[in-house]
Chains A and B, each alone.
Chain A
């Protein structure tokens, strides 16, 4: 990419960030996130206290402490992905059709920056902010879990990066939707796709529990069709991949989506998927009369 294009990308990203600050979007997100983390800290504190009292003196078939830590942190990870997805969708809301209809887009795309670079810039801004957000919330939740219950996930960084890549994919899907859908339809469709992905993950989890090949297949197909779900499942799995015995088995069936190991092929596929979705969005945008 040439120097002038990079400057244009920086200008568009800078404008989006500035808008977020001026419109107090980030302030609202920070306050609500602080609320969520405080609530999570309180919940984790009481959960660890109660389970330690409950499990004292019982035979150690199940590691209740690890079970509580993994379950609580799994919930935090689910909430983090959900909040990150909402942020990614709202940061890309109306980027093409919405802004074109309101007349915001035309003065920008007639500049030498061009449509594809403008789209990539909007994606880069939204994806970077959403990814940074989920990583920060995830790490803070991990720190809270450690402080309240002295429990840490078996792998700390991998799941954070999986979440970050997951929300980047959601931002790209949202951008693609913005090339053809109105603002309201875009928001509804992307959040429904997000919900459908996670539901398919839960189906796979149930399939595992009752040994149903059909349900498991549905989950697998959903993971590859909507890789943010596959990445989330892989992240959940990595949290407890080192936990063995009955605790490990029960945790695999945790309540916040199917946890399933994913190899490097899922990462490669996720990046290819991301590039493919952006290329499709760019193609749709280039064909659109403004």
Chain B
């Protein structure tokens, strides 16, 4: 198996007596889009911050392309957008991207800046001062900033929290494009529908522990087969699509009239709520 772009091993973090992370294991491979879910305070942002070297772990470790998180080599390989960020308000979008190009040592020049602004639909705002931009525009600019220097790993902490539906769609399409370019993405989000829609893999964290992980389809799994008969609606929990003909045949054989059959899947939301036990931060 190819070396993961991001490897989290037995990661733990304590803030005084409070345990933010308690032995998390997670991998993100090239071209993989992993969604990190969990209630507020579950440790998602802490994990992301450790991965980009902003926070020091208390135990375990994180590697980016085999290099320890926080090392210059690891930092050179990643792009990051924090949940709470601010750019100098007096700067224009163009100037901000140029500044980050200099920090990264990117030789992309004007072509890279133009392409990134185009990707986040901010071409028309290239010369606009950041303080004159809406929060949504700033967030899209933040995504463009994180992509300077073509990073192999993108760490996005709630990148769509301030975006309207159009903005969300732009970021979603951008993430799909990044997947095609083999970029590994760790997406920290509260928007389950968004994660379900674009992520290849989902990890659910609660109270600092990884409580569930897998593909969105795998996690959701079969839910139930619901059948409307002459005597009312009957639900066959745990049954899937392949069980429907047998259930209908048995009901008909038992003298029931069948009017409607529906195969229900448990949604990611159901899985999430079950995994976090209704916890909210």
Contact = CB atoms under 8 A, between A and B. Distances in A.
Contacts of A106: 54, 80, 82, 85
A7 B98 CA distance: 12
A46 to B, nearest CB: 42
Contact of A110 (B52, B86, B87, B142): B52
B41 to A, nearest CB: 16
Contact of B103 (A23, A112, A287): A112
Nearest to A16: B88
A290 interface: yes
Contacts of B82: 103, 106-107
B56 interface: yes
B90 A19 contact: yes
Given A11-B103, A106-B82, A107-B85, A290 B49 contact: yes
B53 A110 contact: yes
B28 interface: no
Contacts of B142: 107
Interface size class of B (residues with CB under 8 A): 20 to 34
A185 interface: no
Nearest to B88: A19
A164 to B, nearest CB: 28
B165 interface: no
Given A104-B86, A107-B82, A112 B54 contact: no
B84 A15 contact: no
A203 B111 CA distance: 63
A290 B54 contact: yes
A147 to B, nearest CB: 38
Interface in B88-120: 88, 90-91, 95, 99-100, 102-105
Chain B CB within 10 A, most for which of A8, A11, A19, A104: A11
A290 B102 CA distance: 22
A18 B91 CA distance: 9
B209 interface: no
Contacts of A114: 72, 75
B76 interface: yes
A9 to B, nearest CB: 10
Contacts of B49: 289-290
A110 B72 contact: no
Interface in A259-290: 287, 289-290
Nearest to A3: B105
B78 interface: yes
B104 A23 contact: no
A107 B138 CA distance: 13
Contacts of B261: none
Nearest to B102: A11
B145 interface: yes
Interface in A109-127: 109-114
B85 A103 contact: yes
A110 B56 contact: no
Interface of A: 4, 7-8, 10-12, 15, 18-19, 22-23, 102-104, 106-114, 287, 289-290
Given A18-B95, A104-B88, 17 more contacts: A7-B102, A8-B103, A11-B99, A11-B103, A19-B90, A22-B90, A23-B90, A103-B82, A106-B82, A110-B53, A110-B75, A110-B78, A111-B100, A111-B104, A112-B72, A112-B104, A289-B55
Which 8 residue pairs across A and B have the least CB separation, nearest first?
Answer: A11-B102, A111-B103, A103-B86, A290-B54, A22-B90, A103-B85, A289-B55, A112-B76
